[in-house]
């Protein structure tokens, strides 16, 4: 039902804390990366014809090929001169910050696996070229985050390859909606933190945040590519059913972000960020950007919006508490949480949307 | 031939590439005979876990078993797989809700 893939597929990408098995690892803790593997309708992807957006497409691909961020992901003095250190970090903050880095790393890594698969299986040269650049960027981002984790004493275990992996399925259009949104919301999240810390440098408790500005331009560019892809077929954004899907994706992604961010109170406190303010700010930026391609926008100022997001958050808390408690009481508590979360989701989904008319020119520049 | 409930396994040679380097963290499997994986199929790469130490790039030829999904499973995966999309978001769920 709602945003979490949990329960829908037992094989969902989790980061299971595993016992260290690698004797070469210096780290005290090992995190097993466990991404999903994907298939899609490759014939449909091969039939994509970018002719209607050829000019913008070629310009974007040329930009990606030039690889403007090639030199960005290096540890400069800005990094090495970090005067605080992991050992001095308050344990709760450290735990949440590591969780933040691990889920960022997983997302980049999953993107890398997905894009690589698209590139390998496709035969459409435009599409294959795009996915090879995106896969390159994601692997680079994952490597950069991994290095930060290594400094914190967390080793990433890539041993998942020798475990049985079930291949899941994404319809091409869902790849467009989901990746478009995840790239654009990723941009909005990184740039919002970056700008906040630019104004409040004393709250920058780790140097990685200094890299967020150029970093998020990669995310922005990836999103642009999907915006162009969606423009190749007007039905993708204009049919009745697809509008409902877009609405679903927006609601699911926004509400998941709200729930997840609230699970990291210390992290946001250390950054000096009020979580509701931050999330609304990210939604606002994402929605504004998404006007380039989506014909509708979620009304995040609606009176039902925040109250139901809070209900959703509390329902997830209850589900988790129930699970931890165990027994019959815990089971009922968990199920009640599921019902509450579902009802909050329905309440959010049915908020009337704002209609938008995407402009003729689809391309945007990162301006925040 | 696809069975409604039955699963069929096939052995295929594959190449695994694991990069645990600063410039790139990635891991991929390629089937050397061009075998194609469909929704719901399961892939198991044989042998010991590939544990690339930091700074290492490992490329190895291995054997893999592709267990083909039954017809029913394939339909199910096609119908529900889409909901896994959330993991692409940087704020996707990890195992624990309360940190």
Strands B56-68 and A354-355: unpaired
Give the pLDDT score at A4: 33
Tokens 């992290």 map to which residue? A267
Evaluate whether A199 touches A152 at the Cβ level (below 8 Å): no
Residues 6+ apart with CB under 8 A from A48: A124, A126, A127, A172, A229, A232, A233
In a domain, B53, yes or no: yes
Cite the beta strand spans of B5-89 per DSSP E. 8-20, 25-31, 42-45, 56-68
- Please report the sign of the dihedral spanned by the C-alpha atoms of residue A237, residue A242, residue A244, residue A247: negative
Query: Could you give the CA distance from residue A248 to residue A349 in angstroms, rounded to a whole number?
Result: 7
Burial class (CB in 10 A: 0-12, 13-18, 19+), A265: middle
Mind telling me how many Å the CA of B4 is from chain A's nearest CA?
18
In a domain, B34, yes or no: yes
Domain boundaries, chain A: 16-302
- Number of H helices and E strands in chain A, helices first, is 13, 7
Query: Could you give the CA distance from residue A163 to residue A167 in angstroms, rounded to a whole number?
Result: 12
DSSP letter (8 states) at residue B34 = -
Q: Which residues of A touch B23 (CB under 8 A)?
A: 73, 140, 143
Whether B92 sits inside 8 A of A256 (CB atoms) is yes
Pairs of CB atoms within 8 A across A/B: 221
Q: Which residues of A touch B29 (CB under 8 A)?
A: 161
DSSP letter (8 states) at residue B70 = P
The confidence band for B2, taking pLDDT boundaries of 50, 70 and 90, is: low
Q: What is the DSSP string of A293-353?
A: T-SEE--TTSTTHHHHHHHHHHHHHHHHHHHHH-HHHHHHHHHHHHHHHHHHHHHHHTSPP
Question: Could you say which residues from 39 to 68 on chain B have a Cβ atom under 8 Å away from some Cβ of chain A?
Answer: 39-54, 67
* Nearest-by-Cβ selection for B23 from A33, A140, A185: A140
* Nearest-by-Cβ selection for A263 from B48, B88, B99: B99
Cite the beta strand spans of chain A per DSSP E. 16-18, 29-32, 37-39, 154-157, 165-169, 296-297, 354-355
Burial call A212-251: b when 16+ CB within 10 Å, e when fewer: bbebbbbbbbbbbbbbbbbbbbeebbeeeebbebbbebbb
Q: Which residues of A touch B58 (CB under 8 A)?
A: none
Tally of residues, chain A = 368
Query: Could you give the CA distance from residue A15 to residue A7 in angstroms, rounded to a whole number?
Result: 16
User: Could you give the 3-state DSSP secondary structure of residue B11?
Assistant: strand
Q: How confident is the prediction along chain A (368 residues), in pLDDT tens digits per residue?
A: 333 333 222 222 333 333 333 433 344 677 777 777 888 888 888 999 999 999 999 999 999 999 888 888 888 888 777 765 788 889 999 999 998 998 888 888 888 888 888 888 888 999 999 999 999 999 989 988 998 888 888 888 877 878 888 888 888 888 899 889 999 999 999 999 999 999 999 999 899 998 888 888 889 999 999 999 999 999 999 999 999 999 999 999 999 999 999 999 999 999 999 999 999 999 999 999 999 999 999 999 999 999 999 999 999 999 999 999 989 999 999 999 999 999 999 999 999 999 998 888 888 888 88
- Please report the sign of the dihedral spanned by the C-alpha atoms of residue A199, residue A201, residue A205, residue A207: positive
Whether B88 sits inside 8 A of A155 (CB atoms) is no
* Nearest-by-Cβ selection for A185 from B18, B84, B89: B89
Tally of residues, chain B = 99
Residue B27: C-alpha distances to residues A30, A328, B18, B50 (Å): 17, 42, 4, 10
ipTM: 0.83
In a domain, B77, yes or no: yes
Give the pLDDT score at B92: 63
Two tokens at A306? 């925040």
Burial call A332-358: b when 16+ CB within 10 Å, e when fewer: ebbeebbebbeebbebbbebebeeeeb
Evaluate whether A15 touches A106 at the Cβ level (below 8 Å): yes
In DSSP terms, A157 is beta-bridged to: A32
In a domain, B95, yes or no: no
Give the pLDDT score at B91: 66
Evaluate whether A90 touches A103 at the Cβ level (below 8 Å): no
**Element at A57 (helix H, strand E):** helix A54-66
* Nearest-by-Cβ selection for A143 from B24, B43, B49: B24
pTM assigned to the model:
0.86
In a domain, B3, yes or no: no
Query: Could you give the CA distance from residue A148 to residue A108 in angstroms, rounded to a whole number?
Result: 14
In a domain, B74, yes or no: yes
- Residue B56: domain span: 8-88
Two tokens at A366? 């990162």
User: Could you give the 3-state DSSP secondary structure of residue A85?
Assistant: coil
Report pLDDT digits (tens) over B36-74: 888 999 999 999 888 888 889 999 999 999 999 999 999
Q: Which residues of B touch A120 (CB under 8 A)?
A: 30
Whether B28 sits inside 8 A of A163 (CB atoms) is no
Whether B25 sits inside 8 A of A105 (CB atoms) is yes
In a domain, B39, yes or no: yes
CA A288 to chain centre: 18
SS3 content of chain A, % helix, strand, coil (to 5): 65, 5, 30
Mind telling me how many Å the CA of A88 is from chain B's nearest CA?
19
A16-302 CATH: 1.10.620.20
Cite the beta strand spans of A158-198 per DSSP E. 165-169
Is the minimum CB–CB distance between B81 and chain A shorter than 8 Å?
yes
């Amino acid at each position: 039902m709602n945003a979490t893939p949990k329960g829908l597929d037992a094989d969902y990408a989790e980061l299971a804390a595993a016992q260290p098995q690698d004797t070469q690892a210096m780290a005290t803790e090992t995190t097993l990366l466990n991404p999903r593997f994907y298939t899609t309708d490759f014939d449909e992807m091969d039939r994509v014809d970018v002719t209607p957006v050829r000019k913008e497409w070629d310009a974007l691909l040329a930009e990606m090929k030039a690889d403007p961020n090639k030199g960005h992901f290096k540890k400069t003095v800005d990094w090495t001169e970090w005067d605080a250190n992991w050992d001095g970090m308050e344990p709760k903050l450290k735990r949440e910050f590591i969780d933040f880095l691990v889920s960022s790393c997983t997302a980049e890594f999953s993107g890398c696996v997905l894009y690589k698969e698209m590139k390998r299986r496709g035969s459409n040269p435009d599409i294959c070229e795009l996915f090879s650049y995106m896969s390159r960027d994601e692997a680079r981002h994952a490597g950069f985050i991994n290095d930060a984790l290594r400094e914190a004493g967390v080793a990433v275990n890539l041993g998942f390859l020798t475990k049985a992996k079930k291949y899941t399925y994404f319809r091409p259009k869902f790849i467009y909606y989901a990746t478009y949104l995840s790239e654009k919301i990723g941009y909005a999240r990184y740039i919002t933190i970056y700008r906040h810390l630019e104004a409040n440098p004393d709250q920058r408790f780790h140097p990685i945040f200094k890299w967020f500005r150029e970093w998020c331009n990669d995310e922005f560019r990836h999103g642009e590519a999907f915006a162009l892809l969606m423009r190749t077929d007007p039905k993708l954004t204009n049919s009745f059913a697809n509008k409902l899907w877009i609405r679903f994706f927006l609601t699911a992604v926004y509400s998941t972000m709200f729930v997840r961010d609230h699970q990291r109170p210390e992290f946001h406190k250390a950054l000096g960020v009020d979580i509701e303010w931050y999330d609304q700010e990210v939604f606002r930026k994402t929605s504004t950007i998404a006007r380039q391609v989506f014909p509708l926008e979620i009304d995040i100022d609606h009176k039902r919006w925040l109250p139901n997001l809070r209900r959703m958050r509390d329902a997830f808390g209850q589900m988790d508490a129930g699970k931890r408690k165990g027994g019959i009481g815990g089971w009922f508590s968990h199920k009640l949480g599921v019902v509450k979360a579902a009802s909050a989701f329905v309440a959010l989904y049915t908020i009337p949307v704002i209609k938008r008319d995407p402009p003729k020119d689809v391309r945007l520049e990162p301006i925040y | 031939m696809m069975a409604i409930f039955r699963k069929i396994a096939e052995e295929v040679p594959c190449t695994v590439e694991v990069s645990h380097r600063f410039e790139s963290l990635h891991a991929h499997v390629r089937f050397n005979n061009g075998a194609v994986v469909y929704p719901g199929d399961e892939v198991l790469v044989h042998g010991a876990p590939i544990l690339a130490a930091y700074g290492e790039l490992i490329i190895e030829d291995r054997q893999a078993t592709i267990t083909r999904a039954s017809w029913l499973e394939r339909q199910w995966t096609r119908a529900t797989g889409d909901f896994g999309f959330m993991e692409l978001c940087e704020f996707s769920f990890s195992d624990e809700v309360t940190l």
